[in-house]
Amino acid sequence: MVARIRKSVTESHNSTKPVVGEVDTNPPIQSVKDAVYLFDEGAFSGENPIIKKSKSKSYSVVESVWAKETKLHLAQKELNRLKTQLKNAEATKAEVLVELEKAKTTVMDLKQKLKVLSESRELAIQATEAAKSQVKQLKEEKSGNLNVINGTSKEVLEAVGQRYKSIIIELDDAKQELRKIRQECLESVEARVSAFKQAEEARDAIETNEERAHELFNEILAVQESIRQMKVESVEVDQQKKEILVEKNVLNQSYEPGLEEYEKNLLALNMDFSSKLTKNLEVKLTDKISEISALQKEIENKKTSDFESVKTLTLVLNGAKESLQKLSEEEESLRCLVEALRLDLEYVKREHSELKEKECKTGSILRNLRDELEKRQFELDIYLAEESEVRLSSEKMISMLNQLSDETDKARREAEDMKLYALELKVEAELTKRSLEEAEKKLKVALEEVEAAKAAEA
């Protein structure tokens, strides 16, 4: 350091070199400004950029910590939203399962009702066949014996008519019941379709939530990686701080030997000076000492400012450490949150797989129900066609019964007319018999008279 000072002084005063043997009375440092410049150039030229760099890096670390905390809060909000969507999806799944149970119950009821209707149809067909056989029997009896028809045909025809009326009423009731069942089937199918749509939407929402949870998991891993990098940067900042302090101590230690050597040189110069120049040298020495004291004050001020800078940097680093501590705590909570999220994700995956299995089972049940419904619909159409045929045959049979009733009434009237005619014939026969008896009596009397006359003549 002293060599540099001497070199700079000799270069600045090379035009006034002293003669050999003379003492150089030129001051090695012309002013305090030159001393500060020299010391600042030699000692502090590399310190300020490091401090500035450390400050800027500390500020960037703090800003990065704040940004990561903001991302963490946003991720937590998104996770809460995904949990809410998951609860909604589970509620929708429960509703779909309830709707499926209702649909199964409705299908069982429909099967039972169709079975009852099939039995009613069989009974109606049997009753129709019985009525046809009765009509045929009545026709045969009509052609065979009119007296038996007069006694029993009216009652049989009334019973058959009442039976057909009851069959028609039962058919109308069955038709109404079938229409009602068809409407219930349509409503049940619509409800199942709506339930499956809701299940599909819930499955899509679960898949979206799984993708979003995977993205959040990756973001959380990125946040953890950035936290680790910030810790490394914090360690680097601490290391740079230690290096700055060590360099400062080295610089301070380097100042003291320079000053001591400078004072020794001054003492040596004082011993070499002659008595004639003692007063001038004392004056110059006083000036130099004042300049040195001023320089020391400048150095102290510089040290104070550097100390303030280091203190500010220390505060910033302490703040960064506190932020890192908080971030470590947040990282721990985030790790717990990630673990909980992983468990929730596994639970959601299990639920999703179970829902897929139930959906497959439900799809097969729905296909079976549709096939069963189509089969029952086909049977219903056949039944309606048979019912229309039975109705037509019933109407024909009723018309035949009415015709038969009219013919029976006509036959009854003819029979009554025949009875009257027979009664008249009977009366005429009685009258004829009586007249014949009187004629026989008269003939007998006449024969007796003839016999008496013959006997008298003889």
- CA separation for the pair 405, 205 (Å, rounded): 74
* Tokens coding 199: 């299940």
Task: Quote the CA–CA distance of 32 and 297 in Å, as a whole number.
Answer: 11
Lookup: tokens for 121: 């149809």
Q: Considering the domain boundaries, does residue 403 fall inside one?
A: yes
Between 157 and 158, name the one with better pLDDT. Answer: 158
Dist. CA 257–CA 146, nearest whole Å: 161
Q: Which residue has 């500035």 as its token pair?
A: 52
Q: Following CA atoms 439, 441, 443, 446 in sequence, which dihedral angle do they give, to the nearest 10 degrees?
A: -140
Q: How many whole angstroms separate alpha carbon 282 and alpha carbon 278?
A: 6
pLDDT band at 128 (very low <50, low <70, confident <90, very high): low
Structural domain containing residue 289: 46-408
| 368 pLDDT tier (thresholds 50, 70, 90) | confident
Q: Please check the confidence at residue 453 and state whether its pLDDT lies above 60.
A: yes
> What would the DSSP string read from start to end of 71-97?
HHHHHHHHHHHHHHHHHHHHHHHHHHH
3-state secondary structure 432-454: HHHHHHHHHHHHHHHHHHHHHHH
Q: Which two tokens stand for residue 151?
A: 């006694």
327 falls within a domain: yes
Number of domains composing the chain: 1
Residue 228 lies in a domain: yes
Residue 290 lies in a domain: yes
Tokens 């003839």 correspond to 450
Taking the complete model, does pTM exceed 0.85, yes or no?
no
pLDDT digits (tens, 9 = 90+) for 185-240: 677 667 767 767 776 776 676 677 667 667 767 776 776 677 777 777 767 777 77
Mean pLDDT calculated for residue range 86-100: 71
The pLDDT value recorded for residue 36 is 43
Distance CA 379, CA 125 (A): 15
- Among 289, 302, 301, residue whose Cα is nearest residue 259: 289
What pLDDT score does 169 carry? 73
**Residue linked to tokens 């963490």:** 72
Residue 24 within any structural domain of the chain: no
What string of H, E and C letters represents the secondary structure of 386-403? HHHHHHHHHHHHHHHHHH
CA distance 383 to 179: 13
Q: Is 441 a member of any domain?
A: no
Q: Is residue 28 assigned to a domain?
A: no
Residue 295, both tokens: 């320089």
Nearby residues of 380 by Cβ (< 8 Å), 6 or more positions away: 114, 178, 182
Instruction: Quote the pLDDT of residue 13.
Output: 45
Cα 425-428-434 angle, rounded to 5 deg: 140
Closest CA to 158 of 392, 387, 408: 408
> Which band of pLDDT confidence, cut at 50, 70 and 90, is reported for residue 134?
low
User: What pLDDT, in 10s, does the model give residues 417-439?
Assistant: 887 877 888 888 788 788 878 87
Q: Measure the CA dihedral 288/292/298/299, to 10°.
A: 150
Give the pLDDT of residue 140.
65
Flag whether 14 is in a domain: no
Give the up-direction half-sphere exposure of residue 243: CA atoms within 13 A in the CB hemisphere: 11
Cα–Cα dist 247/245, whole Å = 5
